[in-house]
Amino acid sequence: QLQLQESGPGLVKPSETLSLTCSVSDDSINNNTYYWGWIRQSPGKGLEWIGSLYNGGVNTYYNPSLKSRVTISIDTSKNHFSLMLTSVTAADTGVYYCARQGWSPGWWFAPWGQGTLVTVSS
């Protein structure tokens, strides 16, 4: 059963860069069947899709509201993909999830990682 696990610092200072990694339990990240995405959850905004990537990272898609600050990349040799969010503020505080994204047709996210809490504070 596929499992995803987020990792990274739980505390980031304002104006700095948030960096998280999602480890995938098998090598399915190497095939081009699925997308791989990041979603966050904050009290103020609920669930918010951040971005997704596909095709070894050749294709990336970002939420327009975050696009200027987000980079998602993949390292297929390590079975993981990563999120970078620059110039963070308190509004970026929340639980960050990674997930596999599939097309049925119709996009869905499953499974999700357990999530990692990131707090932006000095």
Q: State the nearest-atom distance from the C-beta of 104 to other proteins, in Å.
A: 5
Task: Give the Cα separation of 67 and 73 in Å (integer).
Answer: 14
Q: State the nearest-atom distance from the C-beta of 111 to other proteins, in Å.
A: 7
Of 15 and 26, CB closest to other proteins: 26
Q: State the nearest-atom distance from the C-beta of 102 to other proteins, in Å.
A: 8
Of 77 and 104, CB closest to other proteins: 104
Residues 22-81 that bind other proteins (CB under 8 A): 46-49, 52, 61-65
Contact residues toward other proteins (CB under 8 A) are 46-49, 52, 61-65, 97, 104-115
